[in-house]
């Protein structure tokens, strides 16, 4: 990805986050009857804007921020000013941007998981840490770091599951081949293979 595209993506994400933050201020200001003089994305000088409901909505040249300019932020004598509202109202309006940023992920994540996108999931199986010399596993070509996925078609998800299935295979199929399904990581990618293993009555220590 080129640096230019990376910068564009960064600006787009930053602009979206700034919009959510400033919209928190805007909505609570309007709810508390505080006049919003200008809602701007980016920092001045202004590129373009339009006025609606006594608020100037603007897009500005410097794409590294935004603002929600309210009437009388420090002067209570101005009509519909922020400073002229109660302490509770001012606290709500001033903290609304941060609260919006906290709530936004809680709203966004459920929708993200609802999208029909391919998702990587943890592969089943357990990693074989070592193969004992002279064991049936070595004779079947199994190597350390291979991943044991299933035993006779029964999926292996954790170590005790593998241990139970191996013991069951030894008890019921002594002297008979047991089919193990494994995966192995190679320089050319992952490969899958079956190994036919014959359980021993007296395996190596």
pLDDT in tens, 119-132: 554 567 888 888 98
C-alpha angle 110-111-115 in degrees, rounded to nearest 5: 120
Q: What is the pTM of this model?
A: 0.56
pLDDT digits 0-9 by tens, 144-165: 999 999 888 888 877 777 888 8
Could you say which architecture CATH assigns to the domain 126-197? Answer: Roll (2.30)
What's the average model confidence in pLDDT over 31-41? 95
User: In this structure, what is the dihedral angle of CA atoms 75, 78, 80, 86, given to the nearest 10 degrees?
Assistant: 40
What's the average model confidence in pLDDT over 38-48? 95
pLDDT digits 0-9 by tens, 50-62: 999 899 999 999 9
CA distance 184 to 164: 23
What's the average model confidence in pLDDT over 39-53? 94
pLDDT at 120: 52
Q: Which of 22, 37, 38, 122 is catalytic?
A: 22
What's the average model confidence in pLDDT over 101-118? 80
Q: Which of these, 14, 33, 49, 140, lies nearest to 82 by C-alpha position?
A: 33
- The CATH 2.30.42.10 portion of the chain extends over 126-197
Q: What band does 204 get if pLDDT is binned at 50, 70 and 90?
A: low
- Residues 189/159, Cβ–Cβ less than 8 Å: no
- 87-109 residues labelled b (16+ CB within 10 A) or e (exposed): eebbebbeebbeebeeebeeeee
In the residue annotation, 120 being an active-site residue is answered as no
What's the average model confidence in pLDDT over 11-36? 95
pLDDT at 50: 95
Q: What band does 205 get if pLDDT is binned at 50, 70 and 90?
A: low
């Amino acid at each position: 990805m080129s640096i230019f595209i990376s910068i564009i993506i960064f600006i787009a994400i930053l602009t979206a986050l700034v919009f959510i933050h400033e919209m928190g201020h805007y909505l609570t200001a309007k709810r508390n009857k505080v006049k919003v003089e200008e809602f701007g994305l980016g920092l001045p000088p202004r590129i373009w804007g339009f006025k609606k409901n006594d608020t100037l909505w603007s897009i500005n040249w410097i794409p590294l921020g935004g603002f929600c300019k309210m009437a009388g932020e420090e002067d209570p004598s101005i009509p519909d000013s922020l400073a002229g509202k109660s302490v509770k109202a001012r606290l709500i309006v001033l903290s609304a941007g941060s609260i919006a940023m906290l709530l936004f992920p809680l709203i966004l994540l459920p929708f993200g998981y609802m999208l029909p996108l391919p998702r990587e999931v943890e592969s089943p199986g357990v990693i074989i840490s070592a193969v004992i010399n002279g064991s049936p596993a070595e004779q079947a070509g199994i190597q350390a770091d291979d991943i044991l996925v299933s035993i006779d078609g029964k999926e292996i998800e954790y170590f005790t599951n593998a241990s139970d299935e191996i013991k069951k295979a030894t008890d019921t199929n002594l002297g008979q081949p047991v089919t193990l399904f494994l995966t192995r990581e190679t320089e050319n990618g992952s490969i899958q293979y079956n190994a036919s293993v014959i359980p021993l009555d007296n395996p190596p220590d």
